[in-house]
């Protein structure tokens, strides 16, 4: 009798577990809809004509049209802008990561004096509001001779992405046992070799995580490209998309199409690096 009672209790509790699992799934589905709907909304808008959008902004598609995408490609030199964005974002990413790697190594492994102060200084640069420094930043860039150049934007991106990178990589390095470094030193390896042959391969998860974070904001940023490139033909893709809305000519379907075009590369990059981001990188870093 006790056996059946026990098994009854187990079915009840396992039913509860099943119910709980379905409830959880329901909640997650609702959230996923909330998360995805605006994007779907934008895609739908991009396939509507202006008239159709004005008539029924929130309705579904009646006739699909690609005229917005065609116009986007006509008005923007999409491939040139894409190239500009790739050059500046990739450059900024690489430079930012390398600089962060160096600082992280110096602070955590070389244990340099004053290392912590340098670390704190770099991190503190994270909290400077961007609107404040537009004028001074432009003046500084001009003084350095970087106005309207790829280098200027790459350096600015690197500087703005540095705090996050330094923080994550330093924390990640701290978790790597010192013995590993010592052993390599005893083997006669120089610092550069240690950094690039030993630490770098171990830290790929952290670097991947850092890269996707920095990549997204660098790709989407409007402020720095405007301040540094102005309206020159080296402008980035995002600036080009912003140009789709003229002074008095604002068409939501057109802007939506432009935004989907700008978003596509980001999604591609995300798909490629998905696994690295989620492989315990960040937490391993901040433990």
Partner 1 sequence: MAETANLATAPNRMAKRDPRREGAAGSRRVFIRKETLIALLFVLPGLALAILFKLVPLLRGIWLSFLETRGFEDPTFAGLANYRTMLADPSVHDSFRNALIAFATLPVWIVLPLVLAFLLFQKTPGWKFFRAAFFLPYMIAPIVVGIMFRQILAPDGPLNAVLRAIGLAPLAIEWLNGPTSALLALTAVALWSFFGLGVLTYLSGLSTVSEEVVEAAKLDGAGFWRLLFHIIMPLLKSVIGYWAVLCTSGILIWMFPLIYALTKGGPGTATVLPEFLVFTTTFQFLDRGLGAAIGMALFVFVAIVSAFVVRRMYVEGAQKK
Partner 2 sequence: MTSTSLAAGGRRRSARAMLAGLAFASMTALAGPAALAADTTTIRVLNWEPGGADYWKALVAEFEKQNPDIKVELETVPFDRYPEVQGPYITTKSGPDVMENNAGLELFDRRRAYAELPPEVLEAGKDLITYSGGCLNFDTTKACYGLPFGYQGNVMYYNKKVLAEAGLDPANPPKTWDEMGAACEKVKAVGKTCLAIGLSGIFPAYWDFPEIARNYLTEDDMRAMLAGKMPWTDPKMVNILKGLASITEKGWTNSSAPSITMLPDGADIFQSGNAAFAGTIISDAVNWAAFGKVLGDENLGAMRWPTLVADAPLANSFSGIESSVFGVTSWSDKKDAAFKFVKFIAGKENAELLTKIAGGISLNKNVDPSVMPKSQALSQILEIIKTPTLHAGVLLSGQEADALARGWQEVALGRLSVEDWTGRMQKALEQSPSKRQ
Helices (runs of H) and strands (runs of E) counted in the chain: 15, 0
* Residue 6 vs 283, nearer CB to partner 1: 283
Tell me which of partner 2, partner 1, none is bound by residue 124, counting a contact when its beta carbon lies within the kind-specific cut-off of 5 to 8 angstroms: partner 1
| Matching residue, tokens 């491939």 | 79
Helix (H), strand (E) at residue 213: helix 204-220
37 binds partner 1 (CB under 8 A): yes
Q: How far apart are CA 109 and CA 173, in angstroms?
A: 8
142 binds partner 1 (CB under 8 A): no
- Binding mask 55-74 vs partner 1 (x if CB under 8 A, - otherwise)? --xx----------------
Smallest distance from the beta carbon of 178 to partner 1, in angstroms? 16
Q: How far apart are CA 189 and CA 276, in angstroms?
A: 28
Q: Strand, helix or coil at 69? A: helix
Q: At a CB cut-off of 8 Å and minimum separation 6, what does 125 contact?
A: 159, 162, 163
Q: Strand, helix or coil at 133? A: helix
Alpha carbon 65 to chain centroid, angstroms: 31
* Residue 100 vs 234, nearer CB to partner 1: 100
| Matching residue, tokens 């550069």 | 192
Of 267, 233, 266, 273, give the one whose Cα is nearest residue 86.
266
204 binds partner 1 (CB under 8 A): no
9 binds partner 1 (CB under 8 A): no
Number of residues counted as binding partner 2 (CB under 8 A): 32
Smallest distance from the beta carbon of 62 to partner 1, in angstroms? 18
263 binds partner 1 (CB under 8 A): yes
- Binding mask 37-76 vs partner 2 (x if CB under 8 A, - otherwise)? -------------xx-xxxxx-----------------x-
Contact (Cβ atoms closer than 8 angstroms) between residue 68 and residue 253: yes
Per CB under 8 A, contacts with partner 1 among 222-241 are 222, 238
- Binding mask 196-225 vs partner 2 (x if CB under 8 A, - otherwise)? --------------------------xx--
* Span from 2-10, 96-104, 136-144, 183-191 in contact with partner 2 (CB under 8 A): 136-144
Q: How far apart are CA 280 and CA 205, in angstroms?
A: 7
178 binds partner 1 (CB under 8 A): no
* Span from 70-78, 82-90, 102-110, 177-185 in contact with partner 1 (CB under 8 A): 102-110
Q: How far apart are CA 257 and CA 43, in angstroms?
A: 7
Helix (H), strand (E) at residue 110: none
131 binds partner 1 (CB under 8 A): yes
| Contacting positions for partner 2 (CB under 8 A) | 50-51, 53-57, 75, 134-135, 138-139, 142, 147, 222-223, 226-227, 230-232, 239, 242-243, 245-252
């Amino acid at each position: 009798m006790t056996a059946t009672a026990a098994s009854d209790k187990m079915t009840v509790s396992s039913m509860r577990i099943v119910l709980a699992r379905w409830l959880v799934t329901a909640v997650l589905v609702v959230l996923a809809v909330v998360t995805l709907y605006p994007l779907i909304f934008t895609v739908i808008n991009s396939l509507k004509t202006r008239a159709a959008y004005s008539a029924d902004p929130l309705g579904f598609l009646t006739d699909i049209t690609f005229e917005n995408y065609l116009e986007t490609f006509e008005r923007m030199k999409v491939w040139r802008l894409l190239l500009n964005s790739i050059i500046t974002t990739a450059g900024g990413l690489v430079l930012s990561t390398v600089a962060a790697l160096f600082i992280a190594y110096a602070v955590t492994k070389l244990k340099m004096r004053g290392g912590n102060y340098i670390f704190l200084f770099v991190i503190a640069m994270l909290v400077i509001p961007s609107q404040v420094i537009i004028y001074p930043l432009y003046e500084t860039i001009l003084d350095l001779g970087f106005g309207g150049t790829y280098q200027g934007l790459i350096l600015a991106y690197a500087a703005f992405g540095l705090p996050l990178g330094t923080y994550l990589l330093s924390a990640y390095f701290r978790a790597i046992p010192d013995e590993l470094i010592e052993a390599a030193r005893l083997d006669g390896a120089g610092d550069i070799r240690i950094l690039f042959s030993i630490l770098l391969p171990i830290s790929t998860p952290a670097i991947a995580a850092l890269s996707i974070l920095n990549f997204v904001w660098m790709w989407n940023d409007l402020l720095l490209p405007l301040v540094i490139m102005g309206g020159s033909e080296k402008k980035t893709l995002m600036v080009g998309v912003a140009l789709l809305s003229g002074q008095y000519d604002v068409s939501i379907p057109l802007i939506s199409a432009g935004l989907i075009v700008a978003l596509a590369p980001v999604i591609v990059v995300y798909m490629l690096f998905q696994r690295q981001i989620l492989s315990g990188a960040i937490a391993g870093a901040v433990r």
